[in-house]
Amino acid sequence: MKKTAVITGGAGFLGSHLADRLLQENCKVICIDNLITGNLDNIGHLFGNEDFSFIKHDITNFIHVMGPVDYILHFASPASPIDYLQLPIQTLKVGSLGTHKALGLAKEKNATFLLASTSEVYGDPLIHPQTESYWGNVNTVGPRGVYDEAKRFAESLTMAYNRYHNVKTRIARIFNTYGPRMRLNDGRALPAFISQALNNEPLTIFGDGSQTRSFCYVDDLVDGLVRLLFSDEVYPVNIGNPAEITIKQFAEEVIELTGTKSSITYMELPEDDPKVRQPDITRATEILGWSPKVDRKTGVLRTIDYFKNQLKH
Ligand code: NAD
């Protein structure tokens, strides 16, 4: 019999790619999403598929799903700084109440639960690269605290359900991921640079551009997530691409790859912006046999193509 996977946040960027992949893995997929930052266009191509269904629902309220469920992938949450700074209470609620409801469903159905956690649990890190054993450096009362602390709470709640209720749980600490279906205007550096370049506008760097990021292509990330889901690993696993680049170098790379005439402008660095970000993926490699395959140039070119198409509509 086919397995059934529930994806909270399934109409979002990552959730919709996971839906595609799990359908390919011969699962039935139920996406639950209130569309607060997601978009039905991301899953529009799946609506004719008899193994796919969509439920519009705010998962901070009780989640009811008919029939057996084997996997719950909990991806619902505003995820980009622009979103969670505009939706601070919703972000805290979905990380706490939403995670509670999703874990409750996992307990009821005896399903395996995978939490989409984040590298932001490391805050502005004091060790580099970041290993899972690092406890992080988060400002609880800063503007970004709403996201970081919601995810840290979600990790603790997940471990409590594992230890106290014996729910099979997995925690993925996801690092910056990019690819088709990102929103052009979600405020993250990568879509911002590409859309500015395609519109021949100056690329906006916050700070002096010496801060680093490590970008993972979405297909690689999804592969790591599925391997984690099917593994037995309970403790957090970093999933990301360790290829680190400064924001300034990345802006120059986007200028080169798009062939734009855009220049670069500099603006003030937002509060608590992490200065460095690079995953240590030793655990993912050892436990899951996973490492990213898509190099940045290939991934960025695919993403540029997607954004070019989006701009036509
Ligand atoms: P996204 O905004 O595209 O997707 C999130 C989805 O969750 C949206 O469709 C939104 O409508 C839905 N949602 C939010 N609150 C909800 C609620 N209360 N009830 C039901 N649905 C709700 O973001 P994304 O980039 O796809 O991120 C997905 C998950 O992965 C998030 O949990 C995010 O924290 C995590 N993550 C993403 C990245 C990344 O680089 N994209 C990095 C680390 C972690």
Residues 94 and 38 in one domain: yes
Q: Over the stretch 126-178, which tens digit does the pLDDT of each residue have?
A: 999 999 999 999 999 999 999 999 999 999 999 999 999 999 999 999 999 99
Distance CA 155, CA 236 (A): 8
Tell me, yes or no, whether 184 lies in a domain.
no
Report CA(313)–ligand 1 centroid distance (Å): 24
Q: Over the stretch 217-251, which tens digit does the pLDDT of each residue have?
A: 999 999 999 999 999 999 999 999 999 999 999 99
In this structure, the number of other CB atoms found within 10 A of the CB of residue 40 comes to 14
Q: What is the DSSP string of 140-205?
A: TTSTTHHHHHHHHHHHHHHHHHHHHH---EEEEEE--EE-TT--TTSS-HHHHHHHHHHTTPPEEE
pLDDT level of residue 312 (50, 70, 90 thresholds):
confident
Residues 145 and 265 in one domain: no
Residue-level pLDDT at 237: 98
Residues 153 and 205 in one domain: no
The domain that holds 155 is classified in CATH as 3.40.50.720
Q: Which atom of ligand 1 is nearest to the CA of 183?
A: 3
Residue-level pLDDT at 118: 98
Distance CA 235, CA 204 (A): 38
The domain that holds 255 is classified in CATH as 3.90.25.10
Q: Over the stretch 53-109, which tens digit does the pLDDT of each residue have?
A: 999 999 999 999 999 999 999 999 999 999 999 999 999 999 999 999 999 999 999
- Residue whose CA is at the smallest distance from ligand 1 atom 22: 76
Tell me, yes or no, whether 145 lies in a domain.
yes
Residues 164 and 22 in one domain: yes
Q: Over the stretch 172-220, which tens digit does the pLDDT of each residue have?
A: 999 999 999 999 888 899 999 999 999 999 999 999 999 999 999 999 9
Residue-level pLDDT at 93: 98
**Residue 144 lies in domain:** 4-176+218-240+280-292
Catalytic residue chosen out of the listed positions 71, 84, 122, 147:
147
Which of the 8 DSSP states describes residue 15? H
Residues 223 and 253 in one domain: no
Pocket test for ligand 1, best of 77, 174, 214 (most atoms within 8 A of CB): 77
